[in-house]
Amino acid sequence: MKPHHRTLAIAALCATAGGASAQSSVTVFGVIDTALSHLTSGDVSRTQLAPDANTSNRLGFRGTEDLGGGLRAGFWLEAGFAPDDGTGGSTNTNNQTSGAAAAVSGSQGLTFGRKSVVSLGGSWGELRLGRDYVPSFLNLTTAMHPFGTNGVGNAGSLYYPKAFGGTTARTQVRASNSIGYVLPGGLGGFYGQAMVALGENASTAGATRDDGRYQGARLGYRSGPVNIAVASGKTDYATGDYRQSNAGINYQAGPVLLMYLWGSNKVGTSRTVAQMVGTRWRMGQGEWRFAYTRLKATGVANDATHVALGYVHALSKRTALYATYAQIHNKGNGTAFNVGLGVTTPGGTSKGHQVGVRHTF
C-alpha cells in the first residue's frame, strides 16, 4: 500500500528575479513496520521480530522547487532501516558483486540506498539522476501483486533471480548511477519510464568493462477498472547477462481487485518463469489478500509453488494491523526457495506466520 505522507515543513519562498516567483517545499515522511514472525522448515523453526512484513521501513526527505515556465526541480532521499534492531539498510555502488570497485555497504549506518535522486520535470515528463527503482521491478510491487515484495507472501520469493554461472544480479530492484525518464501525465491513460544505469568501470577493464550497466523500460495503460503494464530490463555481466521481464494486469470489480502477474528472469543460459493469480478484497476497514504462484526453472534451482493469505485492518489512515500466512513448496529434490528459513530437506516446504503493525508518517 502506498503510505500517507505528512508534510512536516513547507516553506513558500518568494524570489522576485525577473518578475518571477519561486515556490519550494520539503516533506519528511516514513514508515515503521514490524511483525512477530514464526517460520518453520522441516523440524527447524524460528520465532523473531521481522521488519518490512507489510510495507518497507523508510525515512525519507523529498522536495520540489517551481522554477517558472512550467519547469520544476526536485530531490528524493530515502533510507531503509530495521526497527527491530535499529540497523540501517544497505546499498550497492555500481550494480556489481565482484571486482575491486564493487561495494555493498551501509548495513549499520543510515544510507539513502532505497532512493537518492535529483530531478527536473515539466509538461514533457521528468528526468531523474541517481539511485532509483529500475522500471522492470515496478510490476512486482502492490501495483500488480497483492503482497508486493514484503513479508512471507512477497513476490520476490519466486520473482527474483537465482545466481548462476558466477553471476549474482544486483539490479532486480534498484540501480545506482542511473539516468531515468518518466512520462508525463495526461497521455490518455498511458504511463511509463525508461532508464540506463552505469557500472562506472574504466575503459581498460577489458571483459568487465560493461559490468553493472543496466537498460530497461516499462509501459502501462490505465483506464477505468483496468490497469496493464509490461516491462523489461537487461544488466550486463561478463559472467552472464541478467534480463528481467514481466507483465501484469489487474481489474477492479467493486471491492475486489483481480490480479495476474507473469515474470521471467534469465541469468546466462538459466531461466525461471513465475505466474501468479491473486486478489485484494476490501471489506469495511479491512482488506483480504491472496496469491498463488507457480515457478518453472530451466538450468537452475527447481520448480516451486507459493501460496499466501493475508488480512490488513486499518485502525486509521496512518496505522494498520495485519496478519499473513504463506508457504513455499519445492518440487522434486529442490531446496532453493523459502519464506525466510532455508529448506534443507529435498522437496521440502517452508512456512511462515506473521502478525504485525504498520505506522506511516
Q: What is the pLDDT of residues 270-283, one digit of tens each?
A: 999 999 999 999 99
Residue 6's pLDDT is: 42
pLDDT reading at 258 higher than 60: yes
User: According to the model, what pLDDT value does residue 107 have?
Assistant: 55
d(CA 313, CA 28): 25
Output the pLDDT for position 214: 98
Q: Give the pLDDT score at 16.
A: 35
Distance of CA 243 to the CA centre of its chain: 16
The length of the chain, given as a count of residues: 361
Query: What is the number of domains present in the chain?
Result: 1
Confidence band of 341 (pLDDT split at 50, 70, 90):
very high
- Cα(295)–Cα(157) distance, rounded to whole angstroms? 10
In which band, very low, low, confident or very high, does the pLDDT at 98 lie, cut at 50, 70 and 90? low
Asked whether residue 15 is domain-assigned, the answer is no
Q: What is the pLDDT of residue 104?
A: 56
The pLDDT of residue 90 is 87
Q: What average pLDDT does range 81-94 have in this prediction? A: 92
Per-residue pLDDT reduced to its tens digit, 191-221 = 999 999 999 999 999 999 999 999 999 999 9
Q: What is the pLDDT of residue 14?
A: 36
Distance CA 142, CA 279 (A): 11
pLDDT, mean of residues 282-290 = 98
pLDDT of 297 > 80? The answer is: yes
DSSP 57-108: -EEEEEEEEEEETTEEEEEEEEE-EETTTTEEPPEESSS-SSSTT--EE-SS
Answer whether residue 142 is part of any domain: yes
Write the CA distances from 84 to 28, 57, 236, 293, 354, integer angstroms.
22, 11, 36, 29, 14
The answer to which of 18-27, 161-170, 194-203, 247-256 has the lowest mean pLDDT is 18-27
Tens digit of each residue's pLDDT (9 = 90 or more) over 40-75 = 999 999 999 999 999 999 999 999 999 999 999 999
Note whether residue 266 is domain-resident: yes
Choose among 265, 266, 167, 149: nearest CA to 212.
167
Q: Examine the pLDDT at 17 and tell me if it is beyond 50.
A: no
Judged by DSSP in three states, 284 sits in coil
Give the rounded percent of residues in the chain with a pLDDT score beyond 90. 88
What does the block give as the cell for 289?
489478500
Higher pLDDT, 4 or 336: 336
Domain annotation covers residue 322: yes
Report if residue 12 sits inside a domain: no
pLDDT for 240 beyond 50: yes
* pTM for the whole structure: 0.90
**Is the pLDDT confidence value at 162 over 60?**
yes
Residue 307 has pLDDT above 80, yes or no: yes
pLDDT of residue 9: 40
User: CATH number, domain at 57?
Assistant: 2.40.160.10
What the block records as the C-alpha cell of 108 is 549499520
Largest CA distance in the chain: 73
- Which of 218, 223, 290, 286 lies closest to 252 in space, CA to CA? 223
Distance CA 27, CA 7 (A): 5
Mean pLDDT value across the chain = 92
Per-residue pLDDT band at 151 (split at 50, 70, 90):
very high
The confidence score (pLDDT) of residue 19 equals 37
* Cα of 233 vs its chain's centroid, Å: 14
Residue 12 has pLDDT above 60, yes or no: no
352 domain-assigned: yes
Q: Is 8 part of any domain?
A: no
Q: Is residue 19 part of a domain?
A: no
Query: Which domain range does residue 96 map to?
Result: 24-360
Integer CA distances (angstroms), 23 to 77, 126, 201, 272, in order: 20, 18, 39, 48
Q: What is the pLDDT of residue 110?
A: 86
Give the model's pLDDT for residue 108.
61
Q: At 252, give phi and psi (nearest 5°).
A: -90, 110
Q: Write out the three cell numbers for 252.
A: 477492479
**Number of CB atoms found within 10 A of residue 58's CB:** 21
